[in-house]
Amino acid sequence: METLEAKLGYHFKDRALLENALTHSSYANENRGALGSNERLEFLGDSVLGMVTADFLFKEHPDLPEGDLTRTRAALVCEESLVEVADLLDLGAYLKLGRGEEAGGGRERPSIRADAVEAVLAAVYLDGGLVEARKIIQRFILDKETEKSASRDYKTTLQELVQRESGQVLTYRLTGESGPDHAKVFSVEVDLNGQKVGEGTGHSKKEAEQMAARAAIARLDQ
């Protein structure tokens, strides 16, 4: 457990919370006298993760409309994202599984590992409060997404997406400028076959186009 705590960057005052977070229902059902399953913690962790992520996106992207915020949050807290966190923590190695689940490859099952991440977040929240839970979510999910976004060419990705069908035409249109010259903000709209599919803002036209493309990807790639 100490190794896992080191990876998390958090040491529990009540380590039983962490043990509970790693206990799958299959183990709890086979060992009635042991800790209960992590399902209740998973429920709480899902809410903590969603709230922290929503708060981050709301403050970090004041230009994004509600629909885009919702889609971005969904991408950040999806099973695939949580499995990436589980892999970074090697969480599967610490899970307590029932014999049948163990034999069936439960340690590698994406849904089990993703649920365990949510349960661990809840355990941290209960043990150390929202500030500590937020630190872990920031480090393992939000910062990683920021790094990905910084290196991602959304315009190219959008072009590749729409080219799945022939005859698709993308156009970017500057829709506004605001602010002083040293801190100007540009607004751009991207249209697909003449219909708006995304909009974004940035401190350069290029950045605004990238943000518009990002919004369009979130809308179209569903």
The amino acid at residue 107 is R
Quick one: tokens of 27?
A: 């183990």
Q: What is the DSSP letter of 78?
A: S
Q: How far apart are CA 34 and CA 29, in angstroms?
A: 9
CA 184 to chain centroid: 30
Q: Is 118 a catalytic residue?
A: yes
The length of the chain in residues reads 222
| The Cα angle at residue 111 between residues 131 and 99, in degrees rounded to 5 | 110
Q: How far apart are CA 105 and CA 42, in angstroms?
A: 20
Q: Are 94 and 20 in contact (CB under 8 A)?
A: no
Select which of 68, 101, 115, 118 is catalytic. Answer: 118
Quick one: tokens of 109?
A: 């099952």
Select which of 30, 46, 79, 84 is catalytic. Answer: 46
Q: Is 83 exposed, middle or buried (0-12, 13-18, 19+ CB in 10 A)?
A: buried
Nearest by Cα to 198 from 185, 188, 206, 183: 188
Active site residues: 46, 118
